[in-house]
Amino acid sequence: MSDPTTAATAAAAAAEQLRATAESTDLLLHTLAELDPAELSGPSGLPGWTRGHVLAHVSRNADSLVNLLTGARTGEEIPQYPTPESRDAGIAAGAGRPLAEQAADVRASQQRFLDAAALLAPEHWTAEITHRTGYVFPAWQVPARRLAELEYHHVDLNAGYTPAHWPEPFAIAEFRRLGGQFDGAPGLPGVLLVAEDAGLEARIGGGPLDLTAQGPVRALTGWLSGRSDGDGLQVHRDGEGLVDPRSALPALPPMG
Protein backbone atom coordinates (compact mmCIF):
# COMPACT_ATOMS: atom_id res chain seq x y z
CA MET A 1 0.00 0.00 0.00
CA SER A 2 1.29 3.47 -0.87
CA ASP A 3 1.54 6.16 1.79
CA PRO A 4 -1.97 7.02 3.01
CA THR A 5 -3.37 10.39 2.03
CA THR A 6 -6.58 10.36 4.07
CA ALA A 7 -7.65 9.27 7.54
CA ALA A 8 -9.51 6.31 6.04
CA THR A 9 -6.50 5.02 4.12
CA ALA A 10 -4.25 5.59 7.13
CA ALA A 11 -6.61 3.52 9.29
CA ALA A 12 -6.72 0.78 6.64
CA ALA A 13 -2.92 0.67 6.45
CA ALA A 14 -2.71 0.41 10.23
CA ALA A 15 -5.35 -2.34 10.36
CA GLU A 16 -3.44 -4.45 7.84
CA GLN A 17 -0.26 -4.25 9.90
CA LEU A 18 -2.10 -4.86 13.17
CA ARG A 19 -3.34 -8.17 11.78
CA ALA A 20 0.23 -9.02 10.82
CA THR A 21 1.47 -8.28 14.36
CA ALA A 22 -1.11 -10.67 15.79
CA GLU A 23 0.04 -13.44 13.44
CA SER A 24 3.69 -12.70 14.19
CA THR A 25 3.06 -12.87 17.93
CA ASP A 26 1.38 -16.25 17.53
CA LEU A 27 4.47 -17.56 15.71
CA LEU A 28 6.75 -16.23 18.44
CA LEU A 29 4.62 -17.87 21.13
CA HIS A 30 4.77 -21.14 19.20
CA THR A 31 8.57 -20.92 19.24
CA LEU A 32 8.51 -20.27 22.98
CA ALA A 33 6.25 -23.28 23.53
CA GLU A 34 8.94 -25.47 21.92
CA LEU A 35 11.85 -23.86 23.77
CA ASP A 36 13.59 -25.63 26.64
CA PRO A 37 13.23 -23.35 29.69
CA ALA A 38 16.92 -23.83 30.44
CA GLU A 39 17.80 -22.25 27.08
CA LEU A 40 16.33 -18.90 28.06
CA SER A 41 19.57 -17.81 29.70
CA GLY A 42 21.59 -18.77 26.62
CA PRO A 43 23.02 -16.24 24.17
CA SER A 44 20.76 -14.56 21.66
CA GLY A 45 21.83 -13.20 18.31
CA LEU A 46 22.38 -9.77 19.89
CA PRO A 47 25.73 -9.09 21.57
CA GLY A 48 25.48 -9.05 25.36
CA TRP A 49 21.85 -10.15 25.44
CA THR A 50 20.43 -13.51 26.48
CA ARG A 51 17.22 -14.84 25.01
CA GLY A 52 15.57 -13.50 28.15
CA HIS A 53 16.75 -9.99 27.33
CA VAL A 54 15.26 -10.25 23.85
CA LEU A 55 11.88 -11.35 25.18
CA ALA A 56 11.81 -8.68 27.87
CA HIS A 57 12.54 -6.08 25.19
CA VAL A 58 9.76 -7.38 22.94
CA SER A 59 7.24 -7.03 25.77
CA ARG A 60 8.38 -3.60 26.94
CA ASN A 61 8.42 -2.37 23.35
CA ALA A 62 4.73 -3.20 23.07
CA ASP A 63 4.01 -1.13 26.17
CA SER A 64 6.12 1.75 24.87
CA LEU A 65 4.09 1.79 21.66
CA VAL A 66 0.90 1.90 23.73
CA ASN A 67 2.24 5.22 25.02
CA LEU A 68 2.65 6.53 21.47
CA LEU A 69 -0.81 5.36 20.41
CA THR A 70 -2.35 6.94 23.50
CA GLY A 71 -0.64 10.21 22.64
CA ALA A 72 -1.96 10.03 19.08
CA ARG A 73 -5.48 9.52 20.42
CA THR A 74 -5.45 12.16 23.16
CA GLY A 75 -3.17 14.77 21.66
CA GLU A 76 -0.87 14.60 24.68
CA GLU A 77 2.93 14.49 24.39
CA ILE A 78 3.54 11.05 25.90
CA PRO A 79 7.13 9.82 25.52
CA GLN A 80 7.71 6.31 24.29
CA TYR A 81 9.81 5.63 27.41
CA PRO A 82 10.09 7.96 30.43
CA THR A 83 13.88 7.98 30.02
CA PRO A 84 16.51 5.97 28.12
CA GLU A 85 17.63 4.59 31.46
CA SER A 86 14.13 3.33 32.28
CA ARG A 87 14.05 1.47 28.96
CA ASP A 88 17.31 -0.31 29.75
CA ALA A 89 16.23 -0.99 33.32
CA GLY A 90 12.98 -2.59 32.20
CA ILE A 91 14.81 -4.97 29.90
CA ALA A 92 17.38 -5.89 32.54
CA ALA A 93 14.71 -6.42 35.20
CA GLY A 94 12.69 -8.77 33.02
CA ALA A 95 15.49 -10.77 31.45
CA GLY A 96 15.85 -13.38 34.19
CA ARG A 97 12.22 -14.42 34.51
CA PRO A 98 11.09 -18.02 33.88
CA LEU A 99 9.99 -18.95 30.37
CA ALA A 100 6.30 -19.26 31.28
CA GLU A 101 6.32 -15.74 32.73
CA GLN A 102 8.12 -14.37 29.69
CA ALA A 103 5.62 -15.96 27.31
CA ALA A 104 2.68 -14.65 29.33
CA ASP A 105 4.19 -11.17 29.23
CA VAL A 106 4.68 -11.32 25.45
CA ARG A 107 1.04 -12.33 25.04
CA ALA A 108 -0.39 -9.79 27.50
CA SER A 109 1.68 -6.84 26.29
CA GLN A 110 0.75 -7.53 22.67
CA GLN A 111 -2.91 -7.59 23.69
CA ARG A 112 -2.50 -4.24 25.44
CA PHE A 113 -1.01 -2.90 22.23
CA LEU A 114 -3.95 -4.17 20.16
CA ASP A 115 -6.44 -2.83 22.70
CA ALA A 116 -4.83 0.62 22.58
CA ALA A 117 -4.92 0.59 18.78
CA ALA A 118 -8.62 -0.32 18.79
CA LEU A 119 -9.40 2.95 20.60
CA LEU A 120 -8.08 5.11 17.76
CA ALA A 121 -10.53 6.70 15.34
CA PRO A 122 -9.43 7.02 11.69
CA GLU A 123 -8.30 10.62 12.14
CA HIS A 124 -6.02 9.63 15.02
CA TRP A 125 -3.90 7.51 12.70
CA THR A 126 -2.72 10.64 10.88
CA ALA A 127 -1.41 12.29 14.08
CA GLU A 128 2.33 12.86 14.28
CA ILE A 129 4.20 11.20 17.14
CA THR A 130 7.82 11.10 18.24
CA HIS A 131 9.99 8.00 18.39
CA ARG A 132 12.35 7.65 21.35
CA THR A 133 15.23 8.66 19.04
CA GLY A 134 13.50 11.93 18.14
CA TYR A 135 12.22 10.85 14.74
CA VAL A 136 8.71 12.21 14.02
CA PHE A 137 6.34 9.98 12.07
CA PRO A 138 2.59 9.42 11.59
CA ALA A 139 0.74 7.07 13.92
CA TRP A 140 -0.33 4.74 11.12
CA GLN A 141 3.29 3.56 10.91
CA VAL A 142 3.31 2.32 14.53
CA PRO A 143 1.89 -1.15 13.75
CA ALA A 144 4.55 -1.69 11.07
CA ARG A 145 7.22 -0.75 13.60
CA ARG A 146 5.76 -3.26 16.04
CA LEU A 147 5.81 -5.92 13.33
CA ALA A 148 9.49 -5.20 12.68
CA GLU A 149 10.26 -5.59 16.37
CA LEU A 150 8.50 -8.95 16.45
CA GLU A 151 10.00 -10.36 13.25
CA TYR A 152 13.57 -9.17 13.75
CA HIS A 153 13.74 -10.15 17.40
CA HIS A 154 12.15 -13.53 16.70
CA VAL A 155 15.24 -14.18 14.56
CA ASP A 156 17.47 -12.68 17.27
CA LEU A 157 16.08 -15.20 19.73
CA ASN A 158 18.38 -17.73 18.05
CA ALA A 159 15.81 -20.49 18.47
CA GLY A 160 15.29 -21.77 14.93
CA TYR A 161 13.34 -18.89 13.36
CA THR A 162 15.36 -17.39 10.50
CA PRO A 163 14.87 -14.77 7.77
CA ALA A 164 13.69 -17.61 5.54
CA HIS A 165 10.58 -17.81 7.75
CA TRP A 166 9.63 -14.14 7.38
CA PRO A 167 6.28 -13.40 5.73
CA GLU A 168 6.96 -12.25 2.18
CA PRO A 169 5.13 -8.88 2.55
CA PHE A 170 7.34 -8.06 5.54
CA ALA A 171 10.53 -9.04 3.73
CA ILE A 172 9.56 -6.96 0.69
CA ALA A 173 8.64 -3.90 2.75
CA GLU A 174 11.90 -4.06 4.68
CA PHE A 175 13.93 -4.65 1.50
CA ARG A 176 12.49 -1.44 0.11
CA ARG A 177 12.96 0.49 3.34
CA LEU A 178 16.53 -0.60 4.01
CA GLY A 179 17.50 -0.28 0.37
CA GLY A 180 16.33 3.32 0.50
CA GLN A 181 18.11 3.92 3.82
CA PHE A 182 21.46 2.68 2.50
CA ASP A 183 21.18 4.30 -0.93
CA GLY A 184 24.08 6.75 -1.20
CA ALA A 185 25.48 5.80 2.21
CA PRO A 186 28.96 7.35 2.43
CA GLY A 187 31.85 4.93 2.68
CA LEU A 188 29.73 2.00 1.50
CA PRO A 189 30.76 0.46 -1.85
CA GLY A 190 28.07 0.43 -4.52
CA VAL A 191 26.10 -2.81 -4.53
CA LEU A 192 23.18 -3.68 -6.81
CA LEU A 193 20.67 -5.91 -5.01
CA VAL A 194 18.42 -8.09 -7.17
CA ALA A 195 15.52 -9.86 -5.45
CA GLU A 196 14.74 -12.38 -8.15
CA ASP A 197 11.62 -13.87 -6.61
CA ALA A 198 10.02 -10.48 -5.93
CA GLY A 199 11.10 -8.74 -9.13
CA LEU A 200 12.76 -5.93 -7.14
CA GLU A 201 16.08 -4.14 -7.31
CA ALA A 202 17.84 -1.64 -5.06
CA ARG A 203 21.17 0.10 -5.26
CA ILE A 204 23.01 0.79 -2.02
CA GLY A 205 26.24 2.60 -1.27
CA GLY A 206 27.65 5.91 -2.35
CA GLY A 207 30.57 4.77 -4.47
CA PRO A 208 30.85 3.28 -7.96
CA LEU A 209 28.97 0.04 -8.52
CA ASP A 210 31.27 -2.71 -7.26
CA LEU A 211 29.14 -5.79 -6.70
CA THR A 212 25.84 -7.37 -7.68
CA ALA A 213 24.12 -9.54 -5.05
CA GLN A 214 21.11 -11.55 -6.10
CA GLY A 215 18.86 -14.05 -4.45
CA PRO A 216 15.53 -14.40 -2.63
CA VAL A 217 14.11 -11.23 -1.08
CA ARG A 218 14.17 -12.81 2.37
CA ALA A 219 17.89 -13.57 2.07
CA LEU A 220 18.66 -10.05 0.86
CA THR A 221 16.62 -8.48 3.66
CA GLY A 222 18.32 -10.77 6.14
CA TRP A 223 21.70 -9.41 5.04
CA LEU A 224 20.56 -5.79 4.89
CA SER A 225 19.20 -6.02 8.44
CA GLY A 226 22.30 -7.70 9.88
CA ARG A 227 20.45 -10.97 10.50
CA SER A 228 22.48 -12.91 7.94
CA ASP A 229 26.03 -12.89 6.62
CA GLY A 230 24.79 -13.38 3.07
CA ASP A 231 23.79 -17.03 3.04
CA GLY A 232 21.65 -17.85 0.01
CA LEU A 233 23.00 -14.99 -2.11
CA GLN A 234 25.05 -15.06 -5.30
CA VAL A 235 27.56 -12.23 -5.59
CA HIS A 236 29.22 -11.07 -8.80
CA ARG A 237 31.97 -8.58 -9.57
CA ASP A 238 32.27 -7.49 -13.20
CA GLY A 239 29.99 -10.36 -14.19
CA GLU A 240 32.16 -13.01 -12.50
CA GLY A 241 30.70 -15.07 -9.68
CA LEU A 242 32.65 -14.98 -6.43
CA VAL A 243 33.53 -18.19 -4.60
CA ASP A 244 32.73 -16.87 -1.11
CA PRO A 245 29.96 -14.25 -1.35
CA ARG A 246 29.92 -13.71 2.39
CA SER A 247 33.49 -12.44 2.54
CA ALA A 248 32.94 -10.23 -0.53
CA LEU A 249 29.93 -8.36 0.80
CA PRO A 250 30.74 -5.08 2.57
CA ALA A 251 30.01 -4.29 6.17
CA LEU A 252 26.77 -2.31 6.46
CA PRO A 253 25.91 0.62 8.71
CA PRO A 254 23.42 -0.12 11.51
CA MET A 255 19.86 -0.20 10.24
CA GLY A 256 17.49 2.51 11.41
CA–CA separation, 29 and 31 (whole Å): 5
DSSP 255: P
Model confidence, pTM = 0.95
CA–CA separation, 110 and 120 (whole Å): 16
CA–CA separation, 72 and 75 (whole Å): 6
Return the number of other C-beta atoms located less than 10 Å from residue 128's C-beta. Answer: 10
Give domain limits for the chain. 7-161, 168-248
CA–CA separation, 117 and 165 (whole Å): 26
- Predicted local confidence at residue 255, as pLDDT: 85
202 DSSP β-pair partners = 193
Matching CATH number, 7-161, of 1.10.260.40, 3.40.50.300, 1.20.120.450, 3.20.20.370: 1.20.120.450
- Predicted local confidence at residue 2, as pLDDT: 61
Tens digits of pLDDT across the chain (256 residues): 467 879 999 999 999 999 999 999 999 999 999 999 999 999 999 999 999 999 999 999 999 999 999 999 999 999 999 999 999 999 999 999 999 999 999 999 999 999 999 999 999 999 999 999 999 999 999 999 999 999 999 999 999 999 999 999 999 999 999 999 999 999 899 999 999 999 999 999 998 898 999 999 999 999 999 999 998 999 999 888 887 877 889 999 888 7
CATH class given for the domain over 168-248: alpha beta
